[in-house]
Amino acid sequence: MKDPIKAIEDTSSERGETKRPRHIAIIMDGNGRWAQTRGLPRIEGHRRGVETVRMISETASELKIDAITLYCLSSENWKRPETELQFLMHLLEQYMVEERRTIMDQGLRLKTIGRRDRLPENVLQAMDKTLAMSANNPGTQLVLAIDYGGRDEITHVARQLAREVAQGSLSESDISEDLINNRLYTAGLPDVDLMIRTGGDMRVSNFLLWQLSYSELWITDKCWPEFTREQFLGAIDDFAMRQRRFGGLNVNE
């Protein structure tokens, strides 16, 4: 049986162009629902979801994807029960410690986006150590969106630019899409080519609102803990078959 990664490479080669997405973003939804349908506590779904994160990260590294951004904790998730939030913080700290070997072995460059001021100090310490360790790795950028909200990110940039205009260090005419891009949390990363959502919901949930402007969407009913390597590769293969117009027309239309 042909290796699916090799199949994607062959398809791109036949077309004379790279049809592989440079940047993939994933809304990892359905952890709690997966657990509850199996009579397990919601936190078990989050625990199992970490295994899927490892698999996806390794596969993205194999494919030499430039960046993969995972929606770990939204700014709205603080509304969840305190016990669940405490477990999520524990799981995040544990991930930052226990996955260091995998991150280094795969050559992944860890990056985080979102607010830091609401995260516990022990989580920040573990996170910063892993960020520093992987900073010079040559491979895929693994971007974790933690305490992240798309509207909050854009508001943060707007306030920053407004201050600079008021101080006279920036003029209104200087404000452009490129300038805003360079002030976002994702500065330096390519725009998202492919956005994958598990769990079946048909919405973007305040995730990378600016960066998703022309992304291809791929949604599955499968919950995150049961999302497989084959489905991930299938989403990438589906992306390769799509015509991306960016508001224009294909040459043959």
Binding residues for substrate, as ranges, are: 30-34, 42, 46, 74-76, 78, 80, 197, 203-205
Which residues are part of a known binding site?
29-34, 42, 46, 74-76, 78, 80, 197, 203-205, 216
**Strand-by-strand arrangement of the 23-27 sheet:** 109-113, 141-148, 67-74, 23-27, 194-197, 216-219
Q: Taking CA 62 as the corner, what is the angle to CA 56 and CA 64, rounded to the nearest 5 degrees?
A: 100
Q: Is 77 a catalytic residue?
A: yes
Q: Is 122 a catalytic residue?
A: no
Q: What are the CA-CA distances from residue 59 to residues 1, 29, 53 (Å)?
A: 18, 19, 10
| Cα–Cα distance, 122 to 130 (Å, whole number) | 13
| Cα–Cα distance, 56 to 54 (Å, whole number) | 6
Which residues are part of a known binding site for Mg(2+)?
29, 216
Q: Taking every pair of C-alpha atoms in the chain, what is the biggest distance, in angstroms?
A: 63
Given 3, 10, 29, 252, the catalytic residue = 29
Secondary structure class of 162 (helix, strand, coil): helix
Q: Which residue has the tokens 């769990």?
A: 199
Secondary structure class of 155 (helix, strand, coil): helix
Minimal CA–CA distance to 44: which of 103, 106, 88, 105? 88
Structure-derived torsion over alpha carbons of residues 49, 153, 149, 194, reported in degrees to the nearest 10: -50
Given 66, 77, 152, 237, the catalytic residue = 77
Catalytic site residues? Answer: 29, 77
